[in-house]
Amino acid sequence: MPALWWMTSLGNEGVTYGDFNRLQLQRQRIAEELTRRGFTNVRVAADISGTKNGCFISIAHLSHPVPNRWWEVIIGTCDGNNIQTAQTVVNQAFNAIRFTW
């Protein structure tokens, strides 16, 4: 059975609501930072995805009612029942996001 771990945070990337070009640039910076931190197969589309230590992560940005804020949802799943690895990889992705602010 795969392990699943997720977390959310309220991002404040200075992205004006509806400014999807700026949000896409922020996603690119996050993807570059994930790659720098050892994630592989990093892709940017409607979300950001990548792999590390046998885990797959996905990062989504969802609009928040407060202007210029975004919910960041990070989901990680790993082969086997290793919750600790899933939690560690999701935390590493979270730290990569914080580094890009």
End-to-end CA distance of the chain: 35
Bridge-based pairing state of the strands 55-63 and 40-44? unpaired
13 has a pLDDT exceeding 60: no
Angle at alpha carbon of residue 51, lines to 50 and 56, rounded to 5°? 90
**Residue 2 CB neighbour total at 10 angstroms:** 12
User: Where are the chain's structural domains?
Assistant: 3-99
7 has a pLDDT exceeding 70: yes
Give domain 3-99's CATH number out of 3.40.920.10, 3.40.50.2300, 3.30.310.50, 1.10.1040.10.
Answer: 3.30.310.50
pLDDT one-digit tens code per residue, 56-100: 999 998 877 776 677 889 999 998 888 999 999 999 999 988 877
- Residues 27/48, Cβ–Cβ less than 8 Å: yes
What pLDDT sits at residue 23?
78
Q: What is the mean pLDDT of residues 43-59?
A: 94
The model's pTM = 0.86
Which residues partner with 62 through β-bridges?
Answer: 71
What pLDDT sits at residue 14?
62
